[in-house]
Structure 1
Amino acid sequence: DEHDIDRLGEADRVAPLDPDKYTVLVPQDAFPNAYSKYPLHRLVLAAHDGDLELLQQMLNRDDPINGYHHDINAHHEEERINALHAAALNGQIEAVEMLLAAGADPHVRQTMPHGKDPRDGETAREMADRWGWDDIEAVLRKAEETTPKGVYLRYGTGNNSKLWPVTKPEGLDPQQERRARLRHQRMLRPLPSRGERKYYGDMVFGVTHGWDGEGKVIRPAPFGQEEALPRAASSRAGLLFPDDRAQRVGMMARAPPNARVREMARVAERVLGYDLLALCADGPAERLNQVEVAQPAIYLASLAALETLREQRPEAAERPEAVAGMALGEFAALTAAGVMSFEMGLKLVQERAAAMTEAAKQRPHRVMSVAGLDKEEVRRLCAEVSAQAGQEVYVTAELFPKACLCAGTSEAVEQLKQSCEKDSAVRPKVLDLPAAHTPLMQSARNRLEASVAQCLPNLRPPHCDVYMCASGACIRAGTDPAAITKLLCEQLTSCAMWEGCMRGMVAAGVQEIFELGPKGGLKNYMKRIDQEAWGRTENIEQ
Structure 2
Amino acid sequence: MKAYIFPGQGSQFVGMGKDLFHSSHLAKKKFKLSDDILGFKITKIMFEGPQEILKNTLYTQLAIYIYSVIKTKILNNFNPDMVAGHSLGEFSALASIGVFSFEEGLILVNKRAYMMQKICQSISGGMAVILGLEDHIIEEVCKKDKGIIVPANYNSPGQLVISGEKKALQRVCLSLKKKGAKKILILPVNGAFHSPIMSTVQKKLEKIIQKISFKNSKCPIYQNVNAQPVTKYHEIKKNLIEQLTSPVKWKQSIKNMIDDGAITFNEIGPGNILQGLMKKIYKNA
Q: Same fold (TM over 0.5)?
A: yes
Question: Which residue matches 2:203?
Answer: 446
Unpaired runs of at least 5, structure 2: none
Question: Which residue matches 1:474?
Answer: 229
Are residues 1:354 and 2:119 paired? no
Greater RCO (Cα-Cα under 8 Å, separation 6 or more) = 2
Question: Which residue matches 1:277?
Answer: 43
Question: Which residue matches 1:265?
Answer: 31
- Cα deviation for residue 327 of structure 1 reads 0.6
Q: Residue 27 of structure 2 aligns to which amino acid in structure 1?
A: V
Secondary structure in 2 matching 1:396: strand
Are residues 1:529 and 2:284 paired? no
Secondary structure in 2 matching 1:404: strand
Q: Deviations over 1:222-266 (max 9, x none)?
A: xxxxxxxxxxxxxx3111000112111121120221122112211
Are residues 1:369 and 2:129 paired? yes
- Cα deviation for residue 532 of structure 1 reads 9.6
Partners of 1:380 and 1:531 in 2: CA distance: 26
Partners of 2:155 and 2:90 in 1: CA distance: 15
- Cα deviation for residue 363 of structure 1 reads 1.7
Aligned counterpart in structure 1 of residue 238 of structure 2, from 479, 486, 491: 486
**TM-score, normalised relative to structure 2:** 0.95
Secondary structure in 1 matching 2:133: coil
Aligned counterpart in structure 2 of residue 295 of structure 1, from 61, 82, 85: 61
CA RMSD of aligned residues (A): 1.6
Contact preservation (8 Å) 2:2, 2:81: yes
Are residues 1:413 and 2:169 paired? yes
Partners of 2:204 and 2:33 in 1: CA distance: 23
- Cα deviation for residue 495 of structure 1 reads 1.0
Partners of 1:517 and 1:423 in 2: CA distance: 36
Aligned counterpart in structure 2 of residue 426 of structure 1, from 164, 167, 182: 182
Secondary structure in 1 matching 2:178: coil
CA gap of 1:379–1:424, structure 2 versus 1, over 3 A, is: closer
Q: Residue 26 of structure 2 aligns to which amino acid in structure 1?
A: R
- Cα deviation for residue 376 of structure 1 reads 0.8
- Cα deviation for residue 424 of structure 1 reads 5.7
Are residues 1:344 and 2:110 paired? no
Which entry has the higher C-alpha Rg, 1 or 2?
1
Identity over aligned pairs, percent: 27
Partners of 1:376 and 1:254 in 2: CA distance: 44
Partners of 2:87 and 2:17 in 1: CA distance: 21
Contact preservation (8 Å) 1:365, 1:407: yes
Pairwise mapping of residues 128-167 of structure 1 onto structure 2 (< 5 A)?
A: none
Partners of 1:424 and 1:250 in 2: CA distance: 40
**Structure 1 runs, 4 residues or longer, greater than 6 Å off:** none
Secondary structure in 2 matching 1:492: helix
Aligned counterpart in structure 1 of residue 71 of structure 2, from 287, 305, 320: 305
Are residues 1:502 and 2:254 paired? yes
Partners of 1:369 and 1:425 in 2: CA distance: 10
CA gap of 1:510–1:372, structure 2 versus 1, over 3 A, is: same
Secondary structure in 1 matching 2:236: helix
Pairwise mapping of residues 375-414 of structure 1 onto structure 2 (< 5 A)?
A: 375-384=135-144, 386-387=145-146, 391-414=147-170
The structure richer in helix per residue is 2
Contact preservation (8 Å) 2:157, 2:284: no
Question: Which residue matches 1:335?
Answer: 95
Partners of 1:322 and 1:503 in 2: CA distance: 13
Partners of 1:465 and 1:239 in 2: CA distance: 11
Q: Residue 208 of structure 2 aligns to which amino acid in structure 1?
A: S
Q: Residue 267 of structure 1 aligns to which amino acid in structure 2?
A: L
Partners of 2:80 and 2:256 in 1: CA distance: 15
Question: Which residue matches 1:322?
Answer: 82
Aligned pair count reads 283
CA gap of 1:530–1:443, structure 2 versus 1, over 3 A, is: same
